[in-house]
Amino acid sequence: GIQVEQSPPDLILQEGANSTLRCNFSDSVNNLQWFHQNPWGQLINLFYIPSGTKQNGRLSATTVATERYSLLYISSSQTTDSGVYFCAVERKYSSNTGKLIFGQGTTLQVKP
Amino acid sequence: EPEVTQTPSHQVTQMGQEVILRCVPISNHLYFYWYRQILGQKVEFLVSFYNNEISEKSEIFDDQFSVERPDGSNFTLKIRSTKLEDSAMYFCASSEMAVYNEQFFGPGTRLTVL
């Protein structure tokens, strides 16, 4: 099956700093989504981005599908950005059932 | 903004008991999913469901699990005889289409099996 690797596994930032989270995947994808898991365990949709670049406030994401990676940028980080960030993909030419495969996540801690 | 809802938010049960986790997907969505996350681990796919049929299930989704769309709005996951290792957060998700389509996740049900 498709492999999804996220880096770094852990990241500690000072409030106001910028960061880049990476997601590598081993095969072509139909779907790629970024999620933020908050301290209550909820998965918050950040981006649906199988290719291209999107921005939403202080967050932006870029997926280079031909090179099989995606980047999530967080600028001017805030303590509320803390949590786990997951990348999830659906492999292309799979059963087309929508099955998402998640990476292991990046745990971000933003210190005041 | 439409959202996926799940009930209950937290369920505690005794080993061997049956539990039913409930989800209300977004109303115009046709594809439904269950995922689970054991504490401290990544999110894992359990099952996808379309047109009142399972379209794909994982190795985790064995005979003790079943899914149902009992009416036009609810989507349920039943675990017949719970085990300690079923303790996890269970997420329901839905999408309009299966491919090239964003999946929207509910807030999750935390299941604790004692």
Tell me the pLDDT tens digit for each residue of B34-91.
999 999 899 999 999 999 999 999 999 999 999 999 887 899 999 999 999 999 999 9
CB contact under 8 A, A42 and B107: yes
- Indicate whether A98 pLDDT > 80: yes
Can you tell me which residue has the tokens 């359990």? B46
The answer, for A103 touching chain B at a CB cutoff of 8 Å, is yes
A-B contacts (CB, under 8 Å): 70
Mean pLDDT over each residue of chain A, to the nearest integer: 95
A110 interfacial to chain B (CB closer than 8 Å): no
Evaluate whether A54 touches A3 at the Cβ level (below 8 Å): no
What pLDDT is recorded for position A13?
A: 96
CB atoms within 10 A of CB B12: 12
Å between A78 CA and nearest CA of chain B: 23
Question: Taken in order B42, B53, B76, B74, is the CA torsion positive or negative?
Answer: positive
Residue pair B47/B63 in contact (Cβ under 8 Å)? The answer is: no
Instruction: Decide if A83 touches B, using CB distance below 8 A.
Output: no
With an 8 Å Cβ cutoff, are B44 and A86 in contact? no
Mean pLDDT of A31-53: 95
From residue A25, give the alpha-carbon distance in Å to each of A29, A32, A102, B35: 8, 10, 10, 20
Q: Which of A64, A68, A62, A71 is nearest to A28 (CA)?
A: A68
By the 8 A CB rule, do A23 and A4 touch?
yes
